[in-house]
Amino acid sequence: MIKTAIIEDSQALTSVYKTFLKDSEFDVSVFSSTLSDINRLVRENYFKLIVCPCFPKFQTGSQIAQTIKSDPKLFNAVFVVCTSMKQENVKSEWELRDIDAILLKPFDQQRLIQTLVKAYHSRPHLDRKMPIALVIDDSKAVRNTLSSYLEELNFDVKTAGDGMQGLNLASEYHPDLILVDVEMPVMDGFEFCRNLSKDPEIKHIPAIVVSGTIDEVQFRKGFKAGAIDFLEKPVSQHALAAIVESVAIREKTSSSGTTVILTQDNTLCAILRKTLNFLNSSIQVCSTLDELETCLCVSIPDIIILDLSDKEDKLNICMHVRENLKSDSPVIIAIADETDTDIMFQCFRYGATEFIIKPFGRDEVKARIENHIKLKKLQDELVQKNRILESLAYKDKLTGLMNRRYFDKALKDQISKAETNGTSLSFLMIDLDNFKLINDQYGHDIGDMVLKEIAAIIIDNVSSNAIPCRYGGEEFCIIYPETSLVEAIKNSEKIKRFCSGKTISAHKIHQTISGGISSYPETSRPETLVADADVCLYKAKASGKNKIIANLEAI
């Protein structure tokens, strides 16, 4: 089963997801887009696939992706964004690098499952503890020998006796490497490679042809069929290890993303397709700018190639495409004639990443694209590291709640929103009762366990739009945007009740909490929200603890 998180604020759409994915290979858990629910998703951190609306209610898409992907265990989770073509472009809400696929609304059950299956299985290696190799040969002895060599190289090996069986296994297992014999019954090695190249789900898998005789004719047939290299029989373990290492290096410099080409030149298109084979990416060709714009509304390409040769408004096309993307992430390569060299630097200023003049050598284009891919990978790694650093800066390591530093920023932002929009803003300050006795009697390890359990209760029971934080020590707090005092008291009492009813550790500790509530504009001014809640907390402590008190007299 594929552990799947559905982020959705609409109960109607939540029911649709649950109904459509019932009895499927997707094990679904549902979360809202609130900060507390997203933190709960991160705390569970075993999800492989995440579906999120393009425009969540309580946070932006980029905020949700940042929170989730800052956790190293979730960084490789597949992100599917659900949107409608009638809505604003997804790029205004999301960083392009965060999206793996787009689910267009309205959708039926079949299209939902097809989209999720394709998105997940496009990166099957994420779930593997070791790479898979597929050996296809009609000789059992050869299969056994190659299998033993590959197992020494830490591959999980699957075998097939003919090309047809090999295609079926390739579709089932999505191996990382295929070794295929040339001469076989049913389907020979070259025909296998041609059929492999036709299937978009498995065409990216590197296929190595194994043959007793390798000459120029074999080379031409093999490369034309889609093979990436050759091994001559009898195969030595050293030769196999060298070619596996070579394939691994190619894979490190390649991409499994998408490339979009804007051109009406069929010859150029064919040359580019051959040149871009090393990318292992899907290639889509658009003949008009309108067609390209439609494509960009529903897919997130890694590379865009613009053939400007026959275009009059060359610079504006570069600028228009970059503005339509609303991101610097995709590589935009402009191709033009020798007569257009004077606009090269202007193209860079108008949004192009690279400029190539016709006629060009395939090796030159390949080298330039490889450099941009390496740079993009470095940028993605930097983004990931920055996300982790930001997460560490704003998240409390022990409890998983947002920390005091985040609280100070969030409270300031929410006060500004409340004043601007004329809405209510409530605030709860929480303190654990007699917590010092827990540390003294049972030790700090048990004390930490109590803090984590109370934090978990807060996360699981806080109202949908609330922002729970660890204030410091044994103090927690909750910001309630657009929430009246009465509503905040109701939710706070619920949390208090669950805390006192929870048995913690083998010592069966019942940890109670006390709280003080303030609310703007009902009981407090914006600048006194925290101080007023603190006064109410002191009263709750002084009057017997395990209480939530608000300054109702101020109303």
* 27, β-bridge pairs: 3
- Inter-helix orientation angle 35-44/61-69, to 10°: 30
CA–CA distance, 10 with 471 (Å, rounded to integer): 32
**What 3-state DSSP class applies to 308?**
coil
DSSP designation for 155: -
Catalytic residue flag (residue 25): no
How many CA atoms, within 13 angstroms, populate the side-chain half-sphere of residue 543?
A: 14
CB-based contacts of 235, cutoff 8 Å, min separation 6: 145, 146, 149, 210
Exposure string for 314-340, b = 16+ CB within 10 A, e = fewer? bbebbbbbbebbeeebbbbbbbbeeeb
User: Do 489 and 476 contact (CB within 8 A), yes or no?
Assistant: no
Residues 480 and 428: beta-carbon distance below 8 Å? yes
d(CA 305, CA 70): 32
Is 497:478 a contact under the CB 8 Å cutoff?
A: no
Q: How distant, in Å, are the alpha carbons of 39, 233, 395 from that of 31?
A: 10, 56, 20
Q: How many residues does the chain have?
A: 555
- Contact at 8 Å (CB) between 226 and 194? yes
* Measured distance CA(279)–CA(365) in Å, rounded: 12
Residue 410 tokens, joined: 């969030």
Question: Tokens representing 476?
Answer: 């927690």
Cα angle 72, 75, 177; round to 5 = 110
Q: Is the peptide bond before 234 cis (omega within 30 degrees of 0)?
A: yes
What is the Cα gyration radius of the chain?
A: 29
Phi, psi of 517 (to 5 degrees): -120, 135
Residue indicated by tokens 């909490």: 513
**Of 363, 38, 346, nearest in space to 355 by CA:** 346
By the 8 A CB rule, do 460 and 34 touch? no
Strand order in the sheet with 132-136: 156-160, 132-136, 177-181, 207-211, 229-232
Q: Are 354 and 388 in contact (CB under 8 A)?
A: no
Residue 312: count of CB within 10 angstroms of its CB: 7
Catalytic residue among 474, 475, 522, 553: 474
The residues, any chain, with a CB within 8 Å of residue 240's CB and separated by 6 or more, are: 146, 149, 150, 153, 231
Phi (first) and psi of residue 478, to 5 degrees: -135, 125
Task: Indicate which residues carry an active-site annotation.
Answer: 474
